[in-house]
Structure 1
Amino acid sequence: MTITVLLADDQALVRAGFRSLLARSRDITVVGEAATGEEAVRLARGALPDVVLMDIRMPGMDGITATRRIVDGPGCRVIILTTFDTDEHVFDALRAGASGFLTKEVEPSELRRAVAAVAAGDALLSPGVTRRVVEQFAHRQGPAPVARRRLAVLTSREVDVVRLVALGLSNDEIAERLTISPFTAKTHITRSIAKLRVRDRVQLVILAYESGLVRPGG
């Protein structure tokens, strides 16, 4: 099955570079290019790509606003492109619904794997980088009572699982830590995502930090 991708970056050279990298995969097709946030939203709604590679900084509507509008629609997922992985705007984009982010210096093989993973419905959750970004910026506002109350719908075991997801553990590692099967760990994660009405593991991580369930450095 072919994965369709929309490229959104205000620099034509950057778009051309990513198009060239993705063209090396038989399973990925670029269906459009956008130079502004407004254009990205319009093309995403028209072409309905599986994945949008979205730059944060663009003239007019920025990538964060564009991401929020795109993920509100059917089926489309967003990967944020950034120059620096410590950019505060990356955290804002993750909160807006992006499924993960990549730096523009990403290796070609990693780019293709990331697109395939997000298209399959997985979050692009690098335990080291994503957790560092969330830790760095989520704690600035302090634990939010509203976010904390949202966790009340979870069972105690589901809370344990969400905490471990936020700490960057894989399904297998969660299973080992809690002495359960990987399938059971995955089931708890899936149920937690559904109960909390979040999009994916990235959103689970953000909620865990915003609620105070996990503290920076914890």
Structure 2
Amino acid sequence: MARYTGPKTKIARKFGEAIFGDDKSFEKRNYPPGQHGNNRRRGKKSEYAIQLMEKQKAKYTYGVLERQFRNMFKKATSAQGITGEVLLQLCESRLDNVVYRMGVSPSRSGARQLVSHRHITVNGEIVNIPSYQLKAGDVVGVREKSKSLTAIQSSLENSSNVYEWITWNSEKKEGTYVSVPSRLQIPENINEQFIVELYSK
């Protein structure tokens, strides 16, 4: 499966925020990458450049490649509601993202690996497709054989995030995707309107 496997800190520095989660290297050098780093004079960015940056940021944040992202945009366009908001809701409804939000993995890439390695169940059935779209009421859990995995246990112990649209039962190691989050409930710093404008050209 194709996905971005390059240097993550470099990407985080490009956008000026730790989009892949806690990153000590980014904290030390939170200026743009490249030979001139801080001193590089950057002219005013064009409207297109700003829109493109926002799209790239969303893609890297959710670990989605261009074709998948474009397909999600088409789906969002044909759905009812504000296109940009629906697009982010589709990203948030992905199984790998919900596994990450539940605290089963400390990163989205780790969550994607858990899903594709058949450690995660949806409504009692093993699902190994990271892009699987969850519906409100779906129960996501850790497979019985995988509950003792050290990586999962340590991630759950260190997780303190609470989201209104997700419930988690630590004894059963399963949670419910209660509802599709509203835009206000999605914590990602993404200006979805720029993405809509870019794809609408």
TM-score by length of 2: 0.23
Structure with the largest fraction of helix: 1
Higher relative contact order (CA 8 A, sep 6+): 2
